[in-house]
Copies of this chain bind each other. A is one copy, B any other.
Amino acid sequence: MRLLLYISSFIAITLVSFTGMQQKQRIVFFGDSITQAGVAPNGYITVLGNLIAQKGLKDQYDLVGAGISGNKVTDLYLRLEDDVLAKDPNTVVIWIGVNDVWHKKGGTGTDAPKFEQFYNAIIKKLQAKNIKVVMCTPAAIGEKTDFSNELDGDLNKYANIVRSIATKNNCPLVDLRKAFLAYNLANNAQNQDRGILTSDGVHLNDKGNMLVADEMMKTLVK
């Protein structure tokens, strides 16, 4: 009798805490310097948290930043276990690709087949643990709207690869490159290469952080 009692009370407690875990979704944002800055006071992760709070859903989401400056897709694969799996997330938002293209200029970018191969390996490991994967296209290296930013061609190519990987793996896609271009077409009449959504063509200014938070809200919170 005693033994049974103990068991039943243990189950009860477990159920409660298990219910609690289900209610609070842990979302890890996995990326590069843009995501590293996302947890700053005006960063997109902070802004997203505020948007969630405004909807009265603060208790349901736990947002965790996991961005490191200079990261490429290979770096994400390297630190997947320590920086993501160890945090036991429900959802992982992957936003990578700018450095894979950009660093080619200095000789150490990622070629397209390897970009796809490492990206797929990350998704496979996450999905094997029933973690939901949300993917983002790399947004911009330069904000000119006539595709005359030096790396536009390659960045469009890698954005296409991300879209294709998302489709093949049934991952929701936050198409930030598309959203950035649309915003710039409406708000960057002088074809400037920075200063609209970014401070330097790549890293987000306040408007950029708001746009990203808005776009992610649509996909992450329903």
Q: Does A150 have its Cβ within 8 Å of any Cβ on chain B?
A: yes
Q: Does A151 have its Cβ within 8 Å of any Cβ on chain B?
A: yes
CB-based contact A152/B146 at 8 Å: no
Q: Chain B residues near A149: list those with CB within 8 A.
A: 153, 157
CB < 8 Å neighbour of A153 from B104, B108, B114, B154? B154
Distance between Cα atoms of A78 and B110 in the complex (Å):
14
Give the shortest distance, in Å, between A135 (CB) and chain B (any CB): 18
Q: Does A56 have its Cβ within 8 Å of any Cβ on chain B?
A: no
CB-based contact A150/B157 at 8 Å: yes
For this complex, into which size category does the number of interface residues on chain A fall? 20 to 34
Interface of A is mostly: helix
Q: Does A60 have its Cβ within 8 Å of any Cβ on chain B?
A: no
Give the shortest distance, in Å, between A132 (CB) and chain B (any CB): 23
- Chain B residue nearest to A156 (CB atoms) is B148
CB-based contact A108/B110 at 8 Å: yes
CB-based contact A114/B105 at 8 Å: no
CB-based contact A146/B150 at 8 Å: no
Query: Which residues in window 145-189 of A have CB below 8 A to B?
Result: 146-157, 159-160
15 A-B residue pairings within 8 Å (CB atoms): A74-B74, A74-B77, A74-B118, A77-B78, A104-B107, A105-B107, A106-B111, A107-B109, A107-B111, A108-B110, A147-B152, A148-B157, A149-B157, A151-B153, A152-B156
Closest 4 CB pairs of A and B: A152-B153, A104-B107, A148-B156, A147-B147
15 new A-B contacts at CB < 8 Å, known A78-B118, A148-B156: A74-B77, A74-B78, A74-B114, A74-B118, A75-B114, A103-B111, A104-B107, A104-B108, A108-B110, A147-B156, A148-B159, A148-B160, A149-B153, A149-B157, A152-B153
